[in-house]
Amino acid sequence: MSSAHGGTAQRQHPSGGSDHRVQFYEDPSFLFDVVAKFLDAGFKEGEPAVVIASEAHAEGFTARLKALGFEVERALEDGRLVLLDARATLARFMVDGLPDWSRFQQVIGEVLDRSHRAAGGRRVRAFGEMVDLLLKAQNPKAALLLEEQWNELGKSHPFGLLCAYALGGFQTQEDARVFQDVCGAHAHVSPTEAYSGVPADELRLREVAVLQQRSKMLEAEIEYRKRIEKELLVAVRLRDDFLSIAGHELRTPLMALQLQLHSLTRLAREVGDARVQERLDRARRQVERLGTLTEDLLDVVRISEGRLVLQAEECDLAALVLEGVDRASEEVTRSGCQLRVLVDQPTWGRWDRSRLEQVVTNLLSNALKYGAGKPVEVMVKASRDRARLVIKDHGIGVPLDAQARIFDRFERAVSTNNYGGLGLGLWIARQGVEAHGGIIRVESEPGSGATFTVELPCNPG
């Protein structure tokens, strides 16, 4: 038999001898009523029933049948009613994520044949929601293929089939195409309770008109969003181009300014002018900060364009951290933080030295900025094939709703009025860590500081 691939080939009414219909629903209680009436109508004509449903839904159907005066237990005993668990039944004929035609024939065909014979050759009424399970499992291809197999089985077995789908399973534009294919696989389509319950034809026509208007509105909204998305992509490209140009243009005067400051600092030391040397030191720190910001902007462009290439070499994370702490000595003094460094032993791995130095610098600067005046702990640990860097401060902390966001580009958890920066340091750190196959995370509560942990693959000890 043929296979369904989720395209448009299924949109014609299915052929075969079966009566294949679908019911969409929002509230399960509405589905219980529909299925109970569908089965009860068959029982009154002497038709047996096969129900393939979840346990919860099966209980809902049988409760509604009992409310209609039907003796469910007796029907189960004499075979007029067969209840099968949808998930367990589905598992019996699924192969590599798709329903196997020969197994489906064997499993479902035998159940239908037994009911057909037990009822003296009368047509069987079947209800199934296995297709809905497949759709909820993000497997629309299997759901559509199963619908096709039901249609194929209907050519050799006399049954009427009612399928059910929760309308909430169709949310996206791709889902809309699947929805159309589902409708095309059935001879009869019934909308949800919002429209099935409209009593008069005139009111139905009004509701259809409203739906048509909403459909047009959604189509227009989709087109608008597509246009906005294209414009945003162009804007991002222009922004990245600007950042690249600005970063490269700033580099040249910054290098010249650094050379001049270096020469002036040496001259101030020779003449012994402490006041001038102090002012030059302040200027040097600001130039270094400007240089760091420039490199961050260039990193944005490199990472966005996929040009973050690692230059891996054997290096010791513990030594890198100690060097980073030494470079930050002036920043530690200005912050008023008491820095405690715990490094047990060398921790070796094949890493990009400059990128890990950047990670250490960014996380340490972050801790000193937001934990100013309070202790900061830096730890390096190794266990088996993982190296761990932990930097903990006791500052303002990070709110729970911002803990994932702070690792995004240009995102911040605090106001720029109180703390400077571009909101790039943690994003760049995350990119560097993940490029090594590692992870970075934060644990924090507002007012209780923050603990940033980096885990990297390393050489087993």
Long-range contacts of the stretch 365-369 (C-beta < 8 A, 24+): 365/328, 365/331, 365/425, 366/391, 366/425, 366/426, 366/452, 367/337, 367/391, 367/392, 367/393, 367/395, 367/450, 367/452, 368/328, 368/331, 368/332, 368/335, 368/337, 368/393, 369/335, 369/419, 369/421
What mean pLDDT is reported for the chain?
Answer: 84
Between 20 and 204, whose confidence is greater?
Answer: 20
Among residues 268, 298, 430, which one has the least CA distance to residue 358? 430
107 in a domain, yes or no? yes
> Within this chain, do residues 321 and 417 fall inside the same structural domain, yes or no?
yes
Q: Is the pLDDT of residue 53 over 50?
A: yes
Among residues 195, 210, 174, which one has the least CA distance to residue 7? 174
**Residue at a domain's end among 197, 229, 257:** 197
Q: What integer pLDDT is reported at residue 207 of this predicted model?
A: 67
Among residues 109, 115, 191, which one has the least CA distance to residue 149? 109
209 in a domain, yes or no? no
> Within this chain, do residues 95 and 144 fall inside the same structural domain, yes or no?
yes
Residue 258 DSSP class: H
- SS3 state at 83: strand
8 in a domain, yes or no? no
Number of domains in the chain: 3
Q: Provide the pairing of β-strand 19-25 with 188-190.
A: parallel
CA distances from 85 to 71, 128, 338, 345 (A): 20, 10, 64, 58
CATH of residue 267:
1.10.287.130
> Within this chain, do residues 406 and 339 fall inside the same structural domain, yes or no?
yes
4 in a domain, yes or no? no
pLDDT band with cut points at 50, 70 and 90 for residue 298: confident
Q: What integer pLDDT is reported at residue 17 of this predicted model?
A: 45
Task: Name the residue type at position 430.
Answer: R
- Beta carbons of 32 and 64 less than 8 angstroms apart: yes
Cα–Cα distance, 87 to 52 (Å, whole number): 9
Q: Is the pLDDT of residue 16 over 50?
A: no
**Residue at a domain's end among 304, 322, 347:** 304
Q: Whole domain around residue 48: which residue ranges?
A: 19-197
Q: What integer pLDDT is reported at residue 376 of this predicted model?
A: 95
> Within this chain, do residues 293 and 345 fall inside the same structural domain, yes or no?
no
Between 247 and 48, whose confidence is greater?
Answer: 48
* 161-201 pLDDT, tens digit each: 999 999 888 887 788 889 989 999 999 998 888 776 666 66
> Within this chain, do residues 285 and 255 fall inside the same structural domain, yes or no?
yes
Q: What integer pLDDT is reported at residue 367 of this predicted model?
A: 93
Mean pLDDT computed over 13-40: 83
Q: What integer pLDDT is reported at residue 83 of this predicted model?
A: 96
> Within this chain, do residues 266 and 131 fall inside the same structural domain, yes or no?
no
Rg, C-alpha atoms of the chain: 34
> Within this chain, do residues 64 and 183 fall inside the same structural domain, yes or no?
yes
11 in a domain, yes or no? no
Q: What integer pLDDT is reported at residue 460 of this predicted model?
A: 52
> Within this chain, do residues 257 and 182 fall inside the same structural domain, yes or no?
no
286 in a domain, yes or no? yes
CATH of residue 130:
3.40.50.300
Q: Is the pLDDT of residue 15 over 50?
A: no
> Within this chain, do residues 64 and 189 fall inside the same structural domain, yes or no?
yes
> Within this chain, do residues 251 and 316 fall inside the same structural domain, yes or no?
no
CATH of residue 363:
3.30.565.10
* 99-111 pLDDT, tens digit each: 999 999 999 999 9
Between 27 and 257, whose confidence is greater?
Answer: 27
> Within this chain, do residues 237 and 101 fall inside the same structural domain, yes or no?
no
Cα–Cα distance, 407 to 429 (Å, whole number): 8
H helical segments located in 119-199:
130-136, 140-153, 173-184, 193-196
What pTM was estimated for this model as a whole? 0.49
210 in a domain, yes or no? no
> Within this chain, do residues 32 and 159 fall inside the same structural domain, yes or no?
yes
Q: What integer pLDDT is reported at residue 288 of this predicted model?
A: 75
Q: Provide the pairing of β-strand 339-343 with 376-383.
A: parallel
124 in a domain, yes or no? yes
**Residue at a domain's end among 244, 278, 304:** 304
